C-alpha cells in the first residue's frame, strides 16, 4: 500500500471543539490483524453523541470513533489465513480479555477489561481501520456494505429478543422504532410472537415497520392515555412482553398497566428525558407477577448478524435513512440527533458505494 496518510475523525478529548476530520497515518497492523478500507461506518447516536459532549463512558482520548462498520480488506497480517485483500468484511468492535471473572464464564459482554473500537481504541470513522482476524466476518456479495455496517446494532437487537424469550402466541409491544426499535421489531416479526405492536410519535418511523407486518400505534406526547386506550382496546389482557427503546421515564412508569399477568418488561434504553428516574409500581409487579430485565450490547455473535441480513430477516433499507461523506460528519451527527424523521445515518469514508 503506497498511501501513508488517511482522513479520520479524531477527538483529542471529549467535546466537539476538540474533534475534527484530519490527516493521520494509516494504522499499522499486527500479524493476526487485518487492514480494512472502511466503506461504511454508521453513527451510533448514544455513543457518538457522548464523544461530542462529556465523553464516552469507557472512552480514552485521543480516539477515532466508529464501532459499526464494514469494508474491503486492504492488507492482511502474516498469520491471517481466512481473509485476503479484496474480501468484503465486517467485524466485531469488541474484544473481551478472556481472563477476567466474566470471560471465564463466557459472559463476554460483562468483561472487566473490555476493549472496544471507537471507544478506548481507534474505530472506523476513518478511511482505514485495523481489526483482529478473530473478529472479522465475510460479507456475501448480495449484502451491501452499508447494510453490513448495521451488524453491531443487529447483535444488540438480537440480545434483546433473546432476553425477551418470546413464546408462541405472545403479544409484543415495542416502544420506539428508531434504529434499535426498528431492528428489534424486524426480529420480533420473525419470532414466535403472534402480534407485534409498535409505538412511536413519528408516523414515518411507524410506516417503515408496519410495512413489514407490525401493528402501528401513534403516540401523542401530550396525552399518553390515547395510545394506552387504543392498545388495550385491541389487546384487553395486555402485552406478554413490553420492550422500551425510548428512554422516556414517564412512558416506562406507565407500562405495567399495559402488561399481561406474568408479562416481561425489557428495558433496552437508558432514561434520557428530563425525568430520568423510573419509578415502577412494584405493587403491580407483585400482583401481576411481572418481570423486569435490562438488555445491553452483544459480543462475539457477528456471524449470525450477517446471516440475518443475508437471509432477509433484516431489511437494512428501512433502517438507513441518510448517508454522508466523512468530511460532513458533524452535519451527519446533528441530523441524527435533531431530525425526527431520521432513523440511521451512515458515513461513507471512501466515497459512495453500492
* 177-193 pLDDT per residue, tens: 999 999 999 999 999 99
Please report how many Cα atoms fall inside a 13 Å half-sphere around the Cα of residue 122, on the Cβ side. 22
What pLDDT does residue 262 have?
Answer: 97
Q: Is there a shared CATH topology between the 5-150+319-348 domain and the 155-294 domain?
A: no
What does the pLDDT look like over 305-348, one tens digit per residue?
999 999 999 999 999 999 999 999 999 999 999 999 999 999 99
pTM of the model: 0.95
From the list 210, 214, 109, 226, the residue with the least C-alpha distance to 171 is 214
Residue 289 has a CB neighbour count (10 Å cut-off) of 9
CATH 3.40.50.720 corresponds to the domain 155-294:
yes
What does the pLDDT look like over 37-92, one tens digit per residue?
999 999 999 889 999 998 887 888 999 999 999 999 999 999 999 999 999 999 99
Q: How far apart are CA 150 and CA 346, in angstroms?
A: 9
Residue 234 has a CB neighbour count (10 Å cut-off) of 12
For the chain, give every domain's residue range: 5-150+319-348, 155-294
What pLDDT does residue 279 have?
Answer: 81
Task: Please identify, in words, the CATH class of the domain defined by 5-150+319-348.
Answer: alpha beta
Amino acid at each position: 500500500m503506497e498511501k501513508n496518510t488517511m482522513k479520520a475523525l479524531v477527538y483529542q478529548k471529549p467535546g466537539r471543539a476538540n474533534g475534527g476530520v484530519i490527516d493521520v497515518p494509516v494504522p499499522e497492523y499486527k500479524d493476526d490483524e487485518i487492514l480494512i478500507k472502511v466503506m461504511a461506518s454508521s453513527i451510533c447516536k448514544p455513543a457518538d453523541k457522548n464523544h461530542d459532549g462529556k465523553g464516552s463512558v469507557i472512552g480514552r482520548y485521543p480516539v477515532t470513533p466508529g464501532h459499526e462498520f464494514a469494508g474491503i480488506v486492504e492488507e492482511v497480517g502474516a498469520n491471517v489465513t481466512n481473509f485476503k485483500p479484496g474480501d468484503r468484511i465486517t467485524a466485531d468492535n469488541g474484544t473481551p480479555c478472556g481472563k477476567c471473572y466474566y470471560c471465564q464464564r463466557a459472559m463476554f459482554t460483562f468483561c472487566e477489561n473490555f476493549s472496544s473500537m471507537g471507544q478506548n481504541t481507534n474505530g472506523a470513522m476513518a478511511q482505514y481501520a485495523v481489526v483482529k482476524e478473530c473478529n472479522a466476518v465475510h460479507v456475501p456479495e448480495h449484502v451491501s456494505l452499508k447494510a453490513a455496517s448495521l451488524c453491531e446494532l443487529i447483535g444488540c437487537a438480537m440480545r434483546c429478543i433473546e432476553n425477551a424469550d418470546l413464546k408462541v402466541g405472545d403479544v409484543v409491544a415495542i416502544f420506539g422504532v428508531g434504529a434499535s426499535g426498528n431492528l428489534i421489531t424486524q426480529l420480533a416479526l420473525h419470532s414466535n410472537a403472534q402480534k407485534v405492536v409498535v409505538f412511536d410519535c413519528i408516523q414515518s418511523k411507524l410506516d417503515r415497520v408496519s410495512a413489514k407486518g407490525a401493528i402501528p400505534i401513534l403516540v401523542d406526547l401530550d396525552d399518553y392515555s390515547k395510545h394506552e386506550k387504543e392498545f388495550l382496546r385491541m389487546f384487553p389482557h395486555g402485552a406478554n412482553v413490553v420492550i422500551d427503546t425510548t428512554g422516556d421515564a414517564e412512558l416506562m412508569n406507565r407500562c405495567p398497566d399495559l402488561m399481561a399477568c406474568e408479562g416481561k418488561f425489557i428495558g433496552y434504553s437508558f432514561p434520557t428525558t428530563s425525568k430520568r428516574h423510573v419509578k415502577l409500581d412494584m405493587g403491580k409487579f407483585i400482583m401481576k407477577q411481572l418481570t423486569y430485565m435490562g438488555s445491553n450490547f452483544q459480543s462475539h455473535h457477528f456471524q449470525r448478524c450477517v446471516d440475518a441480513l443475508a437471509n432477509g430477516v433484516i431489511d437494512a433499507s428501512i433502517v438507513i435513512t441518510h448517508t454522508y461523506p466523512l468530511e460532513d460528519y458533524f452535519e451527519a451527527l446533528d441530523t441524527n440527533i435533531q431530525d425526527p424523521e431520521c432513523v440511521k445515518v451512515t458515513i461513507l469514508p471512501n466515497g459512495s458505494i453500492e
